[in-house]
């Protein structure tokens, strides 16, 4: 048994067991077990906590709806509900709208800045391996054959802002949650 797992076992035993700890969580809000590793602490999944909300639409469950003005991403779950996540969006001149599909999913993706980005920022590395320092964060969902992605971020303070080159940023905790719920082929609608 590792030191970390021994510590977790001790905490669970002292707190009265797993069932009493989980019984106190609200069913409408779930924090990923990875949250402590990304320093988000407590019950928050970042600066804009994810929540289950009423969502009236004709979209099928599994559809991702992105409201760039509101800076929120909605994953339609059915029964007129969705999970709402805070996101960072494209800064002025880099926003876009349309409908695409999730074409691929990657855990701890490598990053190759596109030529357009390198032209604006020649100081960027040409390649960065996946990991905590990588700007794509813990997970990435690739959108069609475009350069755009829904991805994690090593800068959670940018969530809720217009800061990207057209991609949609989420906290690592939230993108892991979304990644585990979405399949390749899912529809993504950006407004």
- Per the structure, the complete domain to which residue 60 belongs is given by 51-190
Would you please indicate which residues are annotated as catalytic (active-site) residues? 151, 167
Give pLDDT tens digits for 132-186. 899 999 999 999 999 999 999 989 999 999 999 999 999 999 999 999 999 999 9
108 is written with which tokens? 């701890």
What is the DSSP annotation of 27-73? TT----TTGGGGT--TT-SSSS--EEEE---SPPTT-EEEETTTTEE
For the residues 96-116, what does the mean pLDDT come to?
95
126 domain-assigned: yes
Query: For all residues of the chain together, what is the average pLDDT?
Result: 81
* CATH number assigned to the domain comprising residue 69: 2.40.440.10
104 domain-assigned: yes
12 domain-assigned: no
pLDDT given at position 15? 36
Q: What is the pTM assigned to this prediction?
A: 0.75
Give pLDDT tens digits for 70-81. 999 999 998 899
């Amino acid at each position: 048994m590792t030191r970390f797992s021994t510590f977790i076992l001790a905490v669970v035993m002292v707190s009265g067991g797993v069932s009493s700890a989980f019984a106190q969580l609200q069913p409408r809000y779930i924090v990923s077990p990875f949250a402590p590793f990304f320093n988000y602490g407590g019950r928050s999944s970042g600066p804009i906590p994810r929540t289950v909300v009423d969502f009236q639409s004709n979209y099928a469950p599994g559809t991702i709806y992105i409201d760039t003005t509101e800076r929120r991403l909605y994953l339609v779950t059915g029964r007129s509900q969705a999970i709402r996540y805070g996101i960072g969006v494209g800064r002025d001149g880099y926003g876009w709208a349309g409908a695409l599909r999730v074409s691929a999913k990657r855990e701890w993706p490598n990053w190759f800045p596109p030529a357009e980005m390198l032209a604006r920022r020649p100081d960027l590395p040409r390649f960065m391996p996946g990991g905590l320092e990588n700007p794509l964060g813990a997970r990435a969902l690739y959108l069609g054959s475009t350069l755009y992605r829904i991805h994690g971020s090593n800068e959670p303070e940018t969530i809720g802002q217009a800061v990207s080159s057209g991609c949609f940023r989420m906290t690592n905790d939230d993108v892991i949650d979304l990644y585990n719920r979405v399949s390749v082929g899912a529809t993504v609608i950006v407004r």
